């Protein structure tokens, strides 16, 4: 059965959401969405407001940047953070490093993103972190319940509004610090990496350059890559262990076979130690799907395809029990628990991101194929939100149909960094577009690995990659300051 073009409308369209009847790929985010050996770690925000060198601030942000109706003048409090301890000052035209938030809270970014604070001293930079509207504490309509209620509020959640938010805050920061000529480098990861690249294109008068880490800029209906997200997940598993790959591939039919037996769902519930009895196979398959996708996407010292495959290949009990092997992989990834919950309540961040995303294909992979039906998806949007999707809005607004030509003709000073083990690299910019729009790829890299905090276990190639990124950014700043001298522009 042929499958229609693969959508990741992320963004961004004013009227789109994740079709929960399709795939559940690991989130387009910097941090894993499924905890490992720490069931509460992902649901609790880390309080980073006590950092004495960092100021947590709120900006009176416009609800709507693009219309002039009375409601568009409504304000909401958008959270951001500033760290000025490394900054050389406005008189030196010292740079500003700005992290553009993604589908996560500011707290998560401050506690997980190391690129700014680790390179601030080297660049003598002012550090700015901005929370994305509708996430964390930047809720336009007060409570999460009101903000995420329906299309009348969610309609203000899209990439265009988010970029305008960032522009307003960065101009405010420059004015506050009298830093009119301080060059701004925007940084983002995953969806935030897309925002960083788009910000450079849409607001070139504000951003000198952009580092877009693991940004699947080409992952749209009109520009989708030949091989998609699940193809790379499958490739990583197959290259790690053919036996593991075969076991996972065969497990879906085995789940269906057992489920069809009398009391089959009860058997599966006990086999996988479910906290609640299964009402069907979807929840279990979705749970397993998410684990495989997450372990591939974030494969590193903590999340390893090799580790989960070792568990699947060598279960503690019967090695001929196919589902027992699969459960051994679950335990390896999730840790030993009294039971495993496939029905966790969605977080506010997930509910917001659900509005922004779409479904994926799974043809020619180790996953079960489930065709995407645009008519069904449209019906679901209208039932859930009262509005239809706009499948071509993002490609038209950001010029994605001919993105490489647009980047060559109109773009400059953008780094696209991708780890080729990351399934989202399928939609990444993997080749240099021009002398100033460059791609840095790492054969063994995972999702956003270059912008999170350094570790003693970091491989040499990652250390070299980060150094290369900084050298490129320093060259942008040097050229900018030379241009200022040539034009006789003073502070």
Q: Per-residue pLDDT tens for 356-383?
A: 543 334 556 777 766 667 787 778 778 7
Which of 81-90, 228-237, 256-265 is predicted least confidently?
Answer: 228-237
Which of 40-44, 66-70, 298-302, 356-360 is predicted least confidently?
Answer: 40-44
- What is the three-class DSSP state of 194? helix
Is the pLDDT score of 474 beyond 90?
yes
pLDDT score, position 318: 75
Is the pLDDT score of 51 beyond 70?
no
DSSP string of 107-171? Answer: HHHHHHB-HHHHHHHHHT-EEEEEPPTTSTT--TTSSHHHHTSSHHHHTT-SHHHHHHHHHHHHH
pLDDT score, position 446: 93
pLDDT score, position 377: 76
Find, among 30, 206, 26, the residue nearest to 106 by Cα.
30
What are the structure tokens assigned to 160, written together? 């265009």
Which of 83-97, 105-119, 146-160, 461-475 is predicted least confidently?
Answer: 146-160
Q: How much is the average pLDDT of 21-44?
A: 48
Which of 70-74, 202-206, 233-237, 354-358 is predicted least confidently?
Answer: 354-358
Judge: domain 54-222+393-486, CATH 3.40.190.10. Answer: no
Find, among 262, 259, 261, the residue nearest to 279 by Cα.
259
Q: Annotated active-site positions, please?
A: 190, 422, 447
How many residues in the chain? 491
User: Tens digits of per-residue pLDDT, 272-296?
Assistant: 999 999 999 999 999 999 999 999 9
User: Do the strands 437-442 and 184-189 form a parallel or antiparallel pair, or are they unpaired?
Assistant: unpaired
Percent of the chain with pLDDT over 70: 82
Q: What pLDDT band is residue 396 in, cutting at 50, 70 and 90?
A: confident
What are the structure tokens assigned to 182, written together? 């301080």
Higher-pLDDT residue of 11, 57: 57
pTM to 2 decimal places: 0.86
Give φ, ψ of 366 to 5 degrees: -85, 0
pLDDT score, position 342: 86
Is the pLDDT score of 22 beyond 90?
no
Which of 8-12, 49-53, 441-445 is predicted least confidently?
Answer: 8-12
- What CATH code is assigned to 229-385? 1.20.120.980
pLDDT score, position 40: 36
Is the pLDDT score of 470 beyond 50?
yes
pLDDT score, position 7: 34
Task: Evaluate whether 327 touches 314 at the Cβ level (below 8 Å).
Answer: no
Which of 100-104, 159-163, 209-213, 339-343 is predicted least confidently?
Answer: 339-343
pLDDT score, position 59: 98
Task: Evaluate whether 328 touches 453 at the Cβ level (below 8 Å).
Answer: no
Sorted by where each begins, the domain ranges of the chain are 54-222+393-486, 229-385
User: Tens digits of per-residue pLDDT, 183-199?
Assistant: 999 999 999 999 999 99
Higher-pLDDT residue of 342, 433: 433
- What is the three-class DSSP state of 99? strand
User: Do the strands 126-130 and 184-189 form a parallel or antiparallel pair, or are they unpaired?
Assistant: unpaired
Is the pLDDT score of 324 beyond 80?
yes
């Amino acid at each position: 059965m042929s499958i229609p073009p693969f959508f990741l409308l992320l963004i961004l369209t004013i009227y789109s959401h994740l079709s929960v009847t399709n795939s559940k790929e690991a989130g387009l985010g910097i941090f894993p969405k499924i905890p490992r050996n720490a069931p509460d770690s992902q649901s609790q925000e880390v309080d980073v407001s006590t950092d004495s060198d960092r100021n947590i601030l709120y900006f009176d942000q416009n609800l709507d940047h693009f219309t002039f109706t009375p409601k568009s003048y409504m304000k909401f409090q958008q959270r951001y953070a500033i760290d000025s301890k490394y900054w050389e000052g406005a008189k030196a035209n010292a740079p500003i490093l700005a992290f553009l938030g993604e589908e996560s809270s500011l707290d998560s970014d401050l506690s997980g993103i190391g690129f700014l604070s680790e390179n601030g001293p080297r660049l003598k930079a002012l550090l700015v972190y901005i929370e994305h509207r509708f996430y964390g504490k930047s809720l336009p309509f007060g409570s999460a319940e009101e903000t995420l209620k329906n299309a009348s509020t969610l309609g203000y959640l899209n990439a265009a509004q988010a970029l305008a938010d960032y522009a307003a805050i960065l101009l405010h920061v420059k004015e506050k610090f009298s830093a009119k000529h301080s060059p701004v480098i925007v940084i983002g990861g995953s969806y935030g990496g897309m925002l960083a690249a788009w910000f450079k294109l849409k607001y070139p008068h504000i951003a000198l350059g952009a580092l877009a880490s693991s940004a699947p800029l080409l992952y749209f209906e009109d520009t989708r890559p030949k091989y998609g997200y699940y193809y790379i997940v499958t490739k990583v598993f197959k290259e790690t262990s053919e036996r593991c790959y075969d076991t996972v591939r065969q497990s879906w039919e085995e789940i269906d076979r057992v489920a069809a037996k009398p009391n089959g769902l009860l058997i599966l519930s006990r086999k996988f130690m479910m906290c609640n009895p299964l009402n069907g196979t979807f929840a279990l398959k979705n749970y397993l799907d998410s684990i495989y996708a997450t372990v591939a996407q974030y494969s590193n010292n903590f999340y390893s395809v090799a580790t989960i495959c070792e568990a699947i290949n060598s279960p503690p009990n019967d090695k001929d029990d196919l589902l027992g092997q699969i459960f051994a992989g679950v335990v390896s990834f999730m840790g030993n628990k009294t039971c495993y919950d496939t029905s966790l309540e969605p977080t506010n961040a997930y509910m917001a991101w659900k509005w922004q995303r779409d479904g994926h294909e799974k043809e020619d992979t180790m996953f079960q194929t489930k065709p995407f039906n645009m008519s069904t998806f449209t019906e679901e949007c209208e039932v859930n939100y009262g509005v239809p999707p706009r499948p071509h809005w993002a490609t038209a607004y950001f010029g994605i149909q001919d993105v490489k030509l647009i980047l060559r003709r109109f773009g400059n000073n953008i780094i696209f960094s991708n780890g080729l083990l990351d399934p989202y690299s399928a939609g990444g910019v993997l080749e240099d577009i021009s002398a100033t729009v460059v791609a840095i790829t790492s054969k063994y890299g995972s999702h956003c690995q270059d912008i999170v905090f350094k570790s003693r276990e970091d491989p040499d190639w990652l250390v070299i990659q980060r150094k290369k990124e900084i050298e490129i950014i320093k060259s942008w700043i040097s050229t900018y300051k030379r241009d200022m001298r040539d034009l006789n522009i003073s502070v």
